[in-house]
Amino acid sequence: MEPLPEVTDPRIIDGRKIAQGIEAEVKKEVEKFTNERGIKPALATILVGEHPPSKLYVKLKHWACKRVGIASEDHKFPQETGQEEIIELIETLNRRPEIHGILVQLPLPKHIDEREVMMRIAPEKDVDGFNPLNMGKMLIGREGFVPCTPKGIIRALEEFNIDPQGKEVVVVGHSNVVGKPAAIMLLNRNATVRICHIFTRDLKSHTREADILIVATGVRGLIKADMVKEGAIVFDVGITWQDERVYGDVDFEGVLPRVSLISPVPGGVGPMTIAILMEHTLMAAKLQSGEK
């Protein structure tokens, strides 16, 4: 991937800069924790198959671990691996005290039941926040390990001193990874939230009313300028790979003149997601060593 240009437009959220800030804080805390407790936080990743973007994301996660002083283990399986083998590894990792976080890169091949796999990750090692116990806690407002991408969005809002309370939030996409948890986390902060998805009849009638619009569908360029309210804040969480490049769900050039803030693709929520994962791995190590 080519290096990204410097962000100078104040309307563009510089996800890399926010991520660097989070990572600097995590690095400091990891050093302190390791010195005081003699424990190095450690993350184990599991990747099944040859999906090129997933391979890249996992590599980026290991690089981030290195930057902040977290140990990491890389478990790779061929596409045709059976579910039982993956679950067996998860159970071994659950039992190993020197491993604090477990991440199964999604999507998994079709013959593997993602929900079953997520259920097997010990809740206290579930740094991605996909275990139903952690999801359920989030639903009742007890946010511990929550999905990293929506948490990155919340962090970006905080960075810009934007309080979601009372705001009209529209989430486009109802995945368990982004759409649903983003909606719940904003509801927890007293926003008025609606979730649109592939069966929504008149998408534009909803998106045009959003003070904060979060789009995570994977449909390149789905959101055009006339679908966005003047002054809106837009988070583009879409990723489409075409010709060795990534594209978001938002027609960035068209939408930019209307927004007060927008997260670009690439360089928006992606780096923030990884930085939050680092934060969660440290949090998991502290939790497992008896610190809060």
14, 105, 180, 236: which is the annotated catalytic residue?
Answer: 105
Question: How many Å apart are CA 38 and CA 35, to the nearest integer?
Answer: 6
Q: Is 76 a catalytic residue?
A: no
Quote the least distance from Cβ 37 to ligand GUN, whole Å.
27
Closest CB to ligand GUN among 232 and 237? Answer: 237
For ligand GUN, which is the closer residue by CB, 117 or 250?
117
44, 58 Cβ separation under 8 angstroms = no
> Minimum CB separation from ligand GUN for residue 75, in Å?
13
Residue 51 token pair: 């999906």
Considering 14, 61, 125, 151, which one is annotated as catalytic? Answer: 61
Give the residue with the Cβ less far from ligand GUN, 145 or 252: 145
Smallest distance from ligand GUN to CB 80, Å? 20
CA neighbor of 40 nearest in space, from 97, 122, 2: 97
* CB closer to ligand GUN, 23 vs 128: 128
Whether 61 is a known active-site residue: answer yes
Smallest distance, Å, CB 34 to ligand GUN? 25
- Least separation, in Å, of the C-beta of 269 and ligand GUN? 10
* Distance between CA atoms of residues 155 and 148, nearest Å: 10
Q: Let me know if 128 is a catalytic residue.
A: yes
Please give the Cα distance from 154 to 89 (Å, whole number). 32
Q: Residue 177 or 186: which CB sits closer to ligand GUN? A: 177
Binding site for ligand GUN (CB under 6 A): 103-106, 128, 148-149, 177, 273
Minimum Å gap between C-beta 5 and ligand GUN is: 25
For ligand GUN, give the closer residue by CB, 61 or 189: 61
> What is the spatial distance between Cα 58 and Cα 68, in angstroms, rounded to a whole number?
16
User: Which position among 14, 126, 128, 251 bears the catalytic label?
Assistant: 128
Q: Which two tokens stand for residue 243?
A: 């010709």
Catalytic residues: 61, 105, 128
